[in-house]
Amino acid sequence: MSRRALNGDSAARGGHGSGVGANKARPPETAIRAQVKRILDASALQANERRSAFFRYIVDETLAGRAERLKGYNIAVDALGRDETFDSQTDPVVRLEARRLRHDLDHYFLHAGRDDPIVGILAVGSPWGIVR
């Protein structure tokens, strides 16, 4: 089986994919959810409930067609438990968790997930659902 990015790009490693929300030939939702389960079961995300919640939230929102809602405020309130007064200018939790999540995912795909059929990352400075 060839490796596929969550958005369907065949250049799973090394290529630059477009957003998960782009829906161009992305793998079936069941395959994506199975990949998410593999990542959560095998990685450091398992030990960090907040990061796991962040990851599940961005995947769920993207698969539900709501990738445009993946803004810092919504992530902080809906996934990370911040209240409605959350201000990204004074609370860097989303940026910090995004950076840590990217690191955890990179580590996973370099080691435990190196042979997984679906590869996905969060690209720095890109919309949340970007994959390669």
Residue 88's identity, in one-letter code, is S
Torsional sign, CA 76, 70, 99, 7 = positive
Question: In this model, does residue 131 exceed pLDDT 90?
Answer: no
Query: Could you state, in order of their start, the residue ranges of all structural domains in the chain?
Result: 28-118
Question: In this model, does residue 6 exceed pLDDT 60?
Answer: no
Question: In this model, does residue 53 exceed pLDDT 70?
Answer: yes
Phi-psi region of 131 (alpha: psi -120 to 50; beta: other; left: phi over 0): beta
pTM above 0.95, yes or no: no
